[in-house]
């Protein structure tokens, strides 16, 4: 008998959700590499999974999912060590929907239903698309005076990424019960590994979040009585599809281009966050 576990993938547009799903599906279906989880039966509906996987294999960017998009995916997975089987459900959703949740401060009932059936979430952050806070010192020197910054009406889309994510998490967490887990995935981790600054490219995912998104990091830390948190740096593509395409195609086994940083360790195992979410 397999246990049922569910999680919701959360992240703003282009945060890397669908690319993660595409790479994960390739890894578990192809069994090219030994990973922590394997699938024990194929899901009935594989059309979407195969479509995004084909894009992933040919190093082509995925289309952004539209607001109303919701693709239910359930995989029956087995843990390599414990041999425990789990039916793991995780719908792929549109990042635009989360933007709308932030703007309207409303969550649809069917989304609340998804959350209440879930044991956790995977929160995706794309380090390439961070909107950083603007410091008061950058805008107006003390005592006023001229500034070179254009003045304009504030809009929701001007909010720093970490403010939006904390707001979304606060709304979501009001609707969950029992023990809950948050796996934070910093996507496009290759962009961090490829920077020449050795202090930066050697950061653990947790240290990266503390440094680049302190509000989100502190929110997760202060609320650690409400949920457990773990941090993963994942390069689901393995690199940039334009400038590094030849190198990415050069891998005999495409699963080898994936990189996962967990603590100080780097591996190809993209299943690690799922395994952490599933295990008690």
Ligand X SMILES: Nc1nc2c(ncn2[C@@H]2O[C@H](COP(=O)(O)OP(=O)(O)OP(=O)(O)O)[C@@H](O)[C@H]2O)c(=O)[nH]1
Position among 36, 237, 260, 271 found at the interface with ligand X (CB under 6 A): 237
Residues 105-144 touching ligand X, rule: CB under 6 A, are 124, 126
Which residue's CB comes closest to ligand X? 95
Position among 5, 7, 16, 122 found at the interface with ligand X (CB under 6 A): 16
DSSP code at position 130: -
Residues 145-204 touching ligand X, rule: CB under 6 A, are 187-188, 190-191
DSSP code at position 5: E
Q: What does the alpha-carbon distance between residue 78 and residue 38 come to, in Å, rounded to a whole number? A: 5
- 62 lines the binding site for ligand X (CB under 6 A): yes
Q: What does the alpha-carbon distance between residue 98 and residue 13 come to, in Å, rounded to a whole number? A: 8
Residues at the contact surface with Mg ion, assessed by CB under 5 A: 17-18, 65
* Residue 190 interacting entry, from Mg ion, ligand X, none, C-beta within 5 to 8 Å by type: ligand X
Which residues face 123 on adjacent strands? 10, 184
Instruction: Say whether 133 sits in a helix, a strand or coil.
Output: coil
CA angle 27, 251, 74 (to 5 degrees): 10
Instruction: Say whether 136 sits in a helix, a strand or coil.
Output: helix
Which residues face 41 on adjacent strands? 76
Only one of the segments 58-66, 82-90, 163-171, 201-209 lies at the binding site for ligand X (rule: CB under 6 A); that segment is: 58-66
Contact, 24 vs 32, CB < 8 A? no
* Residue 162 interacting entry, from Mg ion, ligand X, none, C-beta within 5 to 8 Å by type: none
Position among 89, 95, 120, 127 found at the interface with ligand X (CB under 6 A): 95
Residues that bind ligand X (CB under 6 A): 11, 13-19, 61-62, 64-65, 94-95, 124, 126, 187-188, 190-191, 235-237, 240-241
């Amino acid at each position: 008998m397999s246990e049922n576990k569910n999680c919701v993938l959360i992240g703003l547009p282009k945060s890397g959700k669908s690319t993660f799903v595409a790479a994960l599906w390739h890894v578990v279906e192809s069994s090219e590499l030994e990973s922590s989880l394997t699938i024990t039966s194929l899901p009935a509906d594989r059309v979407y999974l195969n479509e995004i996987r084909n894009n992933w294999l040919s190093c082509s960017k995925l289309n952004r999912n539209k607001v109303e998009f919701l693709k239910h995916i359930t995989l029956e997975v087995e843990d390599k060590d414990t041999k425990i089987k789990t039916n793991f459900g995780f719908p792929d959703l549109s990042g635009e929907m989360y933007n709308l949740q932030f703007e309207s401060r409303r969550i649809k009932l069917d989304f609340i239903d998804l959350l209440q059936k879930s044991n956790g979430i995977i929160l995706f952050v794309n380090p390439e698309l961070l909107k950083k806070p603007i410091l008061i010192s950058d805008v107006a020197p003390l005592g006023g005076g001229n500034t070179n910054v254009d003045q304009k009406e504030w809009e929701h889309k001007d909010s720093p990424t970490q403010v939006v994510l904390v707001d979304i998490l606060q709304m979501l967490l009001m609707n969950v019960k029992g023990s809950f887990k948050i796996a934070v995935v910093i996507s496009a981790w290759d962009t961090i590994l490829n920077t020449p600054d050795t202090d930066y490219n050697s950061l653990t995912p947790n240290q990266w979040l503390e440094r680049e998104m302190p509000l989100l990091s502190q929110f997760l830390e202060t609320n650690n009585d409400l949920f457990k948190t773990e941090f993963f740096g994942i390069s689901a593509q393995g690199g940039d599809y334009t400038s590094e395409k030849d190198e990415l195609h050069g891998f005999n086994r495409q699963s080898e281009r994936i990189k996962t940083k967990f603590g100080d360790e780097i591996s190809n195992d993209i299943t690690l966050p799922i395994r952490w979410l599933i295990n008690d």
